[in-house]
């Protein structure tokens, strides 16, 4: 499984309300998920570069 997919699944486990389409519109949920995953990947890259 790719790292990005794992990160998305981990995020959904932390915030299951994102899957409740009546409370969170899909577009908003996808924005939040992709932003969170992107930020996590940026932090990993920064950590590798600082080593």
On whether the CB atoms of residues 10 and 3 are closer than 8 A, the answer is: no
pLDDT in tens, 29-47: 778 888 888 888 889 889 9
**Per-domain residue ranges for the chain?**
3-50
42 vs 26: CA distance, rounded Å: 24
Encode pLDDT of 7-32 as tens digits: 878 877 887 776 676 776 777 777 88
Check residue 10 and give its pLDDT.
Answer: 81
Torsion on CA atoms 14, 9, 7, 39, rounded to nearest 10: -50
pLDDT-based confidence at 1, cuts 50/70/90?
low
């Amino acid at each position: 499984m790719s790292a990005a997919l794992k990160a998305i699944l981990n995020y959904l486990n932390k915030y299951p309300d994102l899957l409740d389409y009546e409370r969170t519109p899909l577009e908003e949920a996808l924005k939040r998920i992709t932003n969170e995953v992107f930020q996590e990947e940026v932090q990993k890259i920064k950590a590798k570069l600082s080593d």
